[in-house]
Amino acid sequence: MLVLLHLFALFLLVLLGFYVFVANPRNRAHQTFAAFIAFLALWTIKDLIFWNFHEENIASGWWAASSFIIALLMQCALVIFAWVFPENSRTPKKRAAIIFAPSLVLIPAALFGLLWKKVGFFDGKFEIDLAPLAYAFVVYVYLVFGYGAFILFQKYRKYRKTQKGQQVGAILWALVVTGILKTLANILFPFLGLYSMLPYSSIFVLPGVLIYAYAISNFKLFSLENALDQFRLFPIAYKIALSIASVAIISFILFQIPIVYWAFQNGTTFEAWRKYLVFSVISALVPNLLLLLLVVRTISRPLQRITLAAVQVTEGEYGTEVDLRKSNDEIGLLANSFNEMSRKMANDIEQLKQLNEQLIRTEKLAAMGTLAAGVAHEVNNPLAAISSLIQMMQSKNNLDEKTVENLKLIQTQIQRITQVTKDMMDFARVRPAAKSLVDVNDLIAKSLRLASFDKSFQKLQIEQKLAANLPKVFADGDQLQQVFLNLFLNARDALPEGGELFIDTENSLSEVRIKITDNGIGIKSDDLQKIFDPFFTTKQTGKGTGLGLAVCYGIITAHGGKIEVLPNVTKGTTFFIGLPIGKKTAR
């Protein structure tokens, strides 16, 4: 029965220490708790061996020495924990050196057997006769224990009525429970000559350890919520530990037990030991290779794929993703985060490219605007003089028919040049927009009425899908009407034989969206990036100046909106305009 209790205590300690440590391995309090658990596990192993398998005729000094030393190391771990918890602060090295200095004398004294006069089984009964130095050792252990408790009590007063205070308070209760039980089992009863409770001292400490771990884990130890969190992110350390434990248990059952039975069935002879050692080594290769395979599959291969993907990203292949089987451990989280980072990086770089193109286009607009104003001014002056001379010549009655025809042709070309210079002046003119709350649907209707006077435009079949109760936008109505009219006439030019023109408006929370689509010849994909550049046109020579869309771009961006030409799906062209909803209220 005692051996089962010791095994249960050892299993619980290992499980508890591993669980708390892996929950936050970088936290100093968790690290110190793991060290405390390790010392306590050594204490349990010591008791398990001594009280269950120790022979009476063998010296028991090793058990006494290890008991004194492990007890001291546990109290040192307690003090370090008191220093670092709950702030996760560093250990004061100078103070630690002063407080732990007596250990340099007491631990060797325990190793050399200077703490007892006799210890062991005498006439079937366990007895221990301590030397005076042992009492000094015990007093020092309790002083270290009391110092750690005092530090925690001060922190409890500091953090009272907070969660940290509740955690420290729970740990203080754990110390009280553990201290009372250990004192009774290890000090008081043996001092009175009662050694029956001594084998159970490692069991008595478990309640205090559970409270200890419960407080460190923010009162979530083995709770359903914490268990679900651990299941969502199943750490690699858990996987490796479970893999090692599973392989060890399975290999022990499948290989070690049969090998022991086969080797020692005829007694513990030299030949039996030779068989056992040889075939144990051979059988150990199988689980070790299996563990190697699991580690490579769980850690090495995924990390290699993530590394290769990271190298590809550094070489400019933005958007590269890691193709890994979904897992809920750190590597799975790392792969998902890397993929998300790579996608966002690709999107951000694409947006930066678009912003750069817009900046370049805006710079072109500014430069061409200044140039256009100068050119238009220099051209209009001589052009006005030429036009006046032509009109004077046309007023004469003695002109022959050919001369009249030539003068009309000249006048037509003058009008064309005048229109070009007017477009350039409109492009270059910087005037404050007369903004007010305007209805986009009304502006579209007015623009359609103006365009309908054009005979070629009348050939188009207009389909409108205008959203009802469309919010108003704060804009210059004349400028927006100029944009719509320009796009309608561009659609006309793209459909010389007639076709369909689709006009849609919709409300999208923060902006009004307008789509103008025709089923004409469309725009080449290579020209999409240049369509808003000044003097760029896809029309035939003499049919356009290349300023219309540049003016539209300038107007829309000046209103805080955006204008884009969408890629062709089959044929035709779609212009998308987004205008911010007006923030001023109509009066």
CATH 3.30.2350.10 describes domain 2-221: no
pLDDT in tens, 328-346: 667 777 888 888 888 888 8
Q: What pLDDT does 112 receive?
A: 92
CATH node for 433-580: 3.30.565.10
Please, where are the H alpha helices in 429-528? 440-451, 477-494
* Amino acid symbol at 368: M
Q: What pLDDT does 188 receive?
A: 85
The torsion of the CA quartet 252, 258, 259, 263, rounded to 10 degrees, works out to 150
CA 209 to chain centre: 35
Q: What pLDDT does 536 receive?
A: 60
- Residue 346 phi/psi, 5-degree rounding, is -65, -40
Cβ-in-10-Å burial (0-12, 13-18, 19+) of 561 comes to: buried
Domain with CATH 3.30.565.10 in the chain: 433-580
Cβ-in-10-Å burial (0-12, 13-18, 19+) of 451 comes to: buried
Q: What pLDDT does 238 receive?
A: 67
CA 206 to chain centre: 39
Q: How many CB atoms lie within 10 A of CB 204?
A: 19
Q: What pLDDT does 263 receive?
A: 86
Domain with CATH 1.20.1070.10 in the chain: 2-221
Question: What's the rounded Cα separation, in Å, for the pair 469 and 478?
Answer: 21
The low-confidence residues of the chain, meaning pLDDT below 70, are 218-238, 327-329, 357-375, 377, 420, 423-433, 526, 533-547, 568-570, 583-587
Question: What's the rounded Cα separation, in Å, for the pair 550 and 553?
Answer: 5
* Amino acid symbol at 345: M
Strands (E), 296-442: 436-438
Q: What pLDDT does 153 receive?
A: 93
Q: What pLDDT does 569 receive?
A: 60
Nearest to 457 by CA among 512, 419, 499, 402: 499
Q: What pLDDT does 307 receive?
A: 86
Rg (CA), the chain: 45
pTM of the model: 0.53
Domain with CATH 1.10.287 in the chain: 325-430
pLDDT in tens, 571-582: 788 889 999 987
Q: What pLDDT does 354 receive?
A: 74
Rounded to 5°, the CA angle 431-434-435 comes to 130
Q: Which CATH class is domain 325-430?
A: mainly alpha
- Residue 196 phi/psi, 5-degree rounding, is -70, -25
